[in-house]
Amino acid sequence: MRKQLEHLARLQEIDDQLAMMERSKGDYPQRIDELEKTLSQRLQDAEESQQNKEELEKERRQLERRTKDCESRLEKLQDRLSEVKTNKEWDALQKEMDAVKGELSEEEERLLVVMEELETMGAEAETEGEELQDYRSSAEAEIKDLKEKLGSVDSKMAKIRSERGALSVQIDDVLKRIYNRVKQGKQGTAVVPVVRGACGGCYNKIPPQTLTEIRRAERPITCENCGRIIIWFGEVEES
Ligand SMILES: [Zn+2]
């Protein structure tokens, strides 16, 4: 039984170590997730504004073609004006020219708006592009760093878990059940030493008879106050 109790104490040590390592991961996983989401959102936004820009450029080219077209139509009408013979023809031509002029001024107005938008976009895109590149490289570096840290903790934990597995099979099932039950109820600590004659978990004084039994280690003894398994590790001054 003594050997069994020693295994149990070692199991507690391992579990404490695993819990500490789990805590040491802190908010790394959430931070990685947050960085990845923000980065992908920003890349998507940049992609969308690039598409907007391309659409506006396409519109600008169309407007430029259409204004040129209006201008050449006006020139032709202007030429015909010198050849007209009747007032009626003159009026009809004037009317046609007014319509083309109206069309032209609408297109020129829209072209101005489009060009202004493109200009603003161009200036913004440059700063935004630089900012995005900076953000991207710092976010990617941070993600890499966090993943490395997590990976190293995980691989250490995997080693410790395999040690735990090998140890666990050597421990009696009844003892393991007590251990697991107490551990769940007592924030992870199921095995405690004797500290100055008291339970190392709740500091309740241990009766001399029980203390003798703990030292004999012939059966698992649990604290009558907190239920933790008390093991004799020699005189422990501090827990
Ligand atoms: Zn106790």
* Token pair listed for 237: 């001054």
CB distance 74 to 100 below 8 Å: yes
Q: Is 200 exposed, middle or buried (0-12, 13-18, 19+ CB in 10 A)?
A: buried
CA of 201 to the centre of ligand 1 (A): 5
Q: Which domains does the chain have, with CATH numbers?
A: 25-168 (1.10.287.1490), 173-234 (no CATH)
Which tens digit of pLDDT belongs to each residue from 47-59? 999 999 999 999 9
CA of 24 to the centre of ligand 1 (A): 28
pLDDT band at residue 239 using 50, 70 and 90 as cut-offs: very low
* Token pair listed for 209: 């008879």
CA separation for the pair 95, 67 (Å, rounded): 19
CA of 231 to the centre of ligand 1 (A): 11
Confidence at residue 235, expressed as pLDDT on a 0 to 100 scale: 65
Which tens digit of pLDDT belongs to each residue from 11-38? 999 999 999 999 999 999 999 999 999 9
CA of 190 to the centre of ligand 1 (A): 10
What does the DSSP assignment read for 202-231?
A: T-PBPPHHHHHHHHHTSS-EE-TTT-PEEE
Q: In what order do the strands lie in the sheet with 198-199?
A: 198-199, 191-195, 229-236, 221-222
- Average pLDDT (105-114) is 97
pTM over 0.75: no
